[in-house]
Amino acid sequence: MSRTFDVKRQGAFTTIAITGFILLYLPILVLGVYSFNASESLSIWAGFSWKWYATAWANVRVQDATFRSLQLAAIASVISTTVAVLAALATTRGTPWRGQNLMSAMINQPLMVPEIVTAVALLVFFAMIKQATGYTGMGYLILAHTAFCIPFAYLPIRARLQGMDLSLEQAAADLYAPPAKVFFHVTLPLLYPGVLSGAMLAFVISLDDVIITEFLKSAGQDTLPTYMLGQIRRIITPEINAIATALLALSVLMVLAVFFLSRKPTEE
């Protein structure tokens, strides 16, 4: 009699799982604990203190980098989510069209290609544009982050569209509602959990990005992750621990929001 395979019944599954979680999260826990260290040493505990958070908060360069990161992530998430909604509608609504699979592959390309390859390709492409136009502003980072974030916004939106009941949209169309009215009054209200999930996920991906930003930024365009990378190359202080912990907390909150928004449709 054959038995159904269950990975949880395999030998040492619990031990391996616990070991994996420890290796993943123990360094993060240590980072968070030592962000409250009163000492200037990274390895010697000298008592609990908020001073490194206060130091980071008062650092003008940290403030500038934080504002730039939030601004860049917000713009990139709005644009990428808008494009992702249009792409998801094109690939899930209506009859299948020639080249649809190719289009889906192109949308998901940033997920399949190593990020450093995308960064180098964008660097070469934008270098030619800079040489031709002389423009060196934030537009390059916005375009690059938008292109990289589109698939992350596209996946939850497309999943939501595929799981939606078409009867309400069909009923609205039968009542002679034009396509735009059907979308804004029927489809979009039903789609909003997926849209919010995609937007938040795109925001987190843009906020945490290092490689593409490091390759494409010009002078004075440091984001918070690239500022931290630059400081680590010079000298590591507990201030970096505090900044990293705050950035981690924001990312975790956004990911949790995405998780709960993604779960909601399955519980209705």
For the segment 227-248, the average pLDDT, to the nearest whole number, is: 84
Considering only the C-alpha atoms of the chain, give the largest distance between any 2 of them, rounded to a whole number of Å: 73
- The tokens for 231 are 């400081």
For the segment 70-85, the average pLDDT, to the nearest whole number, is: 94
pLDDT over threshold 80, residue 99:
no
12 phi, psi to nearest 5 deg: 65, 20
Q: Is 195 helix (H, G, I), strand (E, B) or coil?
A: helix
- The tokens for 15 are 């031990």
Give the span between the Cα atoms of 194 and 262, in whole angstroms: 7
The model's confidence at residue 267, banded by pLDDT at 50, 70 and 90, is very low
For the stretch 116-135, pLDDT in tens is 999 999 999 999 999 999 88
User: Is the C-alpha dihedral spanning 93, 96, 97, 100 positive or negative?
Assistant: positive
Q: Report which of residues 254 and 222 the model is more confident about.
A: 222
pLDDT over threshold 70, residue 262:
no
Strand partners, 37: 48
What is the DSSP code (8-state) at residue 8? G
pLDDT confidence of residue 43: 73
For the segment 201-226, the average pLDDT, to the nearest whole number, is: 90
Q: What is the pTM of this model?
A: 0.82
CATH of 60-267, one of 1.10.3720.10, 3.30.413.10, 3.10.450.50, 3.40.50.1970: 1.10.3720.10
pLDDT confidence of residue 202: 92
- Say if residues 201 and 258 touch (Cβ distance below 8 Å): yes
